[in-house]
A and B are shown apart, each in its own frame.
Chain A
């Protein structure tokens, strides 16, 4: 039952905001904040109750479950389940959504009630993705994210929003279709071998598919996730979508929805097709490396802050794929930490960009400069998030990158080494932001001080989370641990095939 609460609380908050928003502007902010804060507390309580995450290898270590018959004719259940990975991701989503309403809630220009409802619908779907223990339910939530997001992009976007929203929709929809075909194939194959018609992830993972068909099925999943993450070469919808959306929606896209894809890879794609995943792993690591390097290079060429961060975000999610397909434990943990910390840090970055845009009426770095003169505290906070972006040790993002690279290096030294050079590129585009926006001579900006509202305290909390994970990632790692004890994952620390060259005494 708890999981149902976790899932439905945001939706309830959204409905209250929508219903009350017609009479009171305040409700549109306060209702979601209360709902999300309660949800956060619920998740923290769940975590506290289940310290340890002990589980037998080869099983899913659920810490909470809920299931209800739904369409028994097809073996579809409304089954929710949560393990450490789902808990981590849900907690991140909840924190980020709460931060969004705290910082941006009062600055929604129109129809704030409807905006809150649509946003919370999307958040609910994201929760649904993390909590589904039924493949069909997962798919429905995965697709359900699109509609409110599309509406938010059209209704509250900027610039050529119908084009960017359409591109977003077509790209992700095409990926979703491929995944649907794969899901049905998995379902049928499982039924033929075992005689049981079920979409239950537990049942499906216990009898994983093999053979050439499984490779195609895996590809269906992988392409759907590659579009959403996004990976090169499926990334081109993303910068337009980020730049064409309001900040709240950009955060929804960048911090929250991308994680459903990374989560899907780790929770569904790899455990369901262990054999095919091993086969595909070198190629996926190659794509991960290509994404890191290519997207970082593109980020350096941009002048719109949101586009810089869009590409940088893609580069950081390249590490997730690299770690996930390193097929070893440390790589997996790295991928999970990377997802968690990327969600937190990219949210902070977009808050800062939002503030810059309101302060200076532009996001073009060529027209910006010297903001630290008038806003030194903002400059300091921006510096921390920029450092998180470029992977400074001591902040959580570094743990994610360090582990994924360690895992990748163990799988193949070249993959880890090439991806590591991304650190130089990340520094190049990140420091360019500081240099062009906050440093340099003081520029004449439009009169008036843009108030911080709750930006400073919220950003401080996000920074504390990043520092905590960076210097004491133990609890987070422990939670992530519960996601990696099954399937094709090599848990040995020192697989001998990882040796660089023979020459060992």
Chain B
């Protein structure tokens, strides 16, 4: 099975090529067949590979398949080579399986779309690029995938290109993430210049040998990597593109802007954790950014009216949890939350998509209501998703991943009570905004006409994901319950355990009880909040100023528009005739004027000429004599 690794990204790529070249000549049925089966095949190979990986792990718990050399200049080499270890296997499984379900769902969601082939072509290309990103054995190939998913994100956000607003959102997403990409690129140049290699495993071996802990070179390298991660993963201060990215079709939001691409930054940091370990100060920054982002974005999610925007802020906030975990060295906890989040957030987005379809493309939460009777399947699956993201104890996957993070943040030598408090408050906020959506959309009175038929292609993925959102948590059961840390055990060949200092069982139990309490408090608050906003004429439960601030995402867009975007556009427009050219046109003018002036001396009067000759002779003689 290991010899088939290359097919995992190659089949979706082939699907893209077929749909891009021949899409115009294919029927809808065959387009769906190509688009969905390519991901299905890829997922089957991934599952087969995983089974073999579990049954008979390769030597060193990693295997590399090399296809061809991209370049080799005096030993600086980049191959098209796929590196499969526990970490990339996890990513591959999540990408292909959830990707497959979202593709199936898309055949229903995009049923009436004119550009059906183009949609599936882009989706297939995205899966291929994302798989290249996670399987790359060197930073060059990783960057190819990294930019490839950025391109697909751009193309899919702007999928409905007739509306300039979608195009603007797509462009914004591309440009903001590209700011991060520049940092990542410079980071790659730094690795080349200082370690002379692009190969990730070699880098991870050389960096600790050559760089001291806390050395400025290690700090620079990890800061640059972090810059790239912040852009892709929508963390402060580069989070502004993600809420706007909801302009794309909902399956895109589920696949790219919730489950997979936006967690590429988390993957990058986990993959390069050896470098981050050399820079404790940067680790602390990662934790701080994660904590700040989870609080900020979480509060923004509390007031959004657009259901997809609320979920987008929720995504930013949940990735904040992952960064918080990464920052304290809880690598496995971050990856565990990545996996559960991929499941329940894809579920929530797809549920939201079903609601949007049923309401004839209505996305305003305040115009929804009472859908639980009309759309029972969607309601129950969405409820499972909301329970999971809110981390309702014992029965949801989100509980296990979030509690793993909170406990390790508390206990890690790099964490502590302060960072834990941030995550704890975040847990409350998460429960409030999630159940606010549930209560507003599904409870109360029905407000608009509903198309109650949701096709099987959409409901089956919802049900499957709802089951997963309940059960994947059991992969890592804490010692307060049964103690079955399967997940972190699986990843230990790649990611080390955090060094814990306050690690008693009783502490863990107290923390779990505390966060269980806060979740139920949050759900209660959500009930009150949604009842008040629904019944009253006011659309808010917060002071107007706070509400406006949260609705506007703390004004980052406003600030960037004034500080960066507007000055750039205005100055470029003002200088469109190129100030440097004035130097040349000016010089031409001076020559012309001088020629005109010189022409005046040609007066035709003999005494002026005689005087000129005389003065010239005197000057010439003086020059000869004195110089």
Residues on A lying within 8 angstroms of B by beta carbon are 232-233, 235-236, 239, 297-298, 300-303, 329-330, 333, 370, 372-373, 376, 380, 383, 387, 392-394, 399, 402-403, 405-406, 409-410, 413, 416-417, 420-421, 423-424, 427-428, 431-432, 435, 438-442, 471-474, 477, 491-494, 498-501, 503-505
Contact = CB atoms under 8 A, between A and B. Distances in A.
B132 to A, nearest CB: 9
Given A417-B186, A423-B181, A504-B211, A298 B174 contact: no
B77 to A, nearest CB: 10
A477 B193 contact: no
A493 B68 contact: no
A501 B216 contact: yes
B175 A431 contact: yes
Contacts of A405: 185, 189
Contacts of B209: 505
B394 interface: no
A472 B194 contact: no
A409 B189 contact: yes
Contact of A471 (B70, B178, B573): B70
B75 A493 contact: yes
Interface of B: 20, 68-76, 80, 118, 140, 143-144, 146-148, 151, 154-155, 158, 161-164, 167-168, 171, 174-175, 178-179, 181-182, 185-186, 189-190, 192-194, 196, 209-212, 215-217, 220, 568-569, 571-576, 578, 580-581, 583-584
A504 B217 contact: yes
Q: B interface, by DSSP: helix, strand, loop or mixed?
A: helix
28 contacts: A233-B580, A239-B578, A297-B572, A298-B576, A300-B568, A392-B147, A392-B148, A393-B140, A393-B143, A393-B147, A402-B185, A409-B186, A409-B193, A413-B189, A413-B193, A420-B182, A420-B189, A423-B178, A423-B185, A424-B179, A431-B154, A431-B171, A440-B161, A442-B162, A471-B80, A474-B71, A499-B194, A500-B193
A374 B76 CA distance: 46
Contacts of B186: 409, 416-417, 420
Contacts of A435: 164, 167-168, 171
B276 to A, nearest CB: 17
A30 B118 CA distance: 37
A494 B193 contact: yes
Nearest to A505: B212
A347 B572 CA distance: 26
Given A236-B578, A413-B190, A439-B161, A494 B196 contact: yes
Contacts of A441: 162-164
B413 to A, nearest CB: 23
A300 B74 CA distance: 38
A406 B189 contact: yes
B220 A500 contact: yes
B178 A427 contact: yes
A472 B70 contact: yes
A405 B185 CA distance: 9
B73 A333 contact: yes
Contact of B70 (A233, A301, A376, A473): A473
A426 to B, nearest CB: 9
Contact of B76 (A439, A493, A498): A493
Contacts of B189: 405-406, 409-410, 413, 416-417, 420
Contacts of A413: 189-190, 193
Contacts of B70: 471-474
A394 B164 contact: no
B575 A500 contact: no
Contact of B215 (A376, A424, A474, A503): A503
A424 B73 contact: no
B72 to A, nearest CB: 8
Contacts of B192: 406, 409-410, 493
B190 A409 contact: yes
A239 B584 CA distance: 14
A504 B210 contact: yes
Given A435-B171, A505-B211, A493 B148 contact: no
Contacts of A372: 161
Nearest to A431: B171
Report, nearest first, the 7 A-B pairs whose CB atoms are least far apart. A301-B572, A409-B189, A301-B576, A439-B161, A503-B215, A236-B581, A393-B144
Contact of A440 (B143, B162, B178): B162
A298 B578 contact: yes
A366 B196 CA distance: 47
A432 B211 CA distance: 43
A301 B573 contact: yes
A438 B183 CA distance: 30
B202 to A, nearest CB: 13
Contacts of B576: 298, 301-303
Contacts of B584: 236
B581 to A, nearest CB: 4
Given A297-B575, A406-B189, 18 more contacts: A236-B580, A301-B574, A301-B575, A329-B74, A330-B73, A372-B161, A392-B151, A393-B148, A405-B189, A409-B190, A409-B193, A423-B181, A431-B174, A439-B158, A471-B70, A494-B193, A500-B216, A504-B210
Identify the interface centre among B73, B75, B148, B574: most chain A CB within 10 Å of its CB.
Answer: B73
B125 to A, nearest CB: 11
A504 B568 CA distance: 40
A472 B68 contact: yes
A329 B75 CA distance: 12
A392 B143 CA distance: 10
A487 B491 CA distance: 51
A239 B192 CA distance: 37
A125 to B, nearest CB: 26
A175 to B, nearest CB: 13
Contacts of B583: 233
Contacts of A303: 576
B164 A440 contact: yes
A372 B162 CA distance: 9
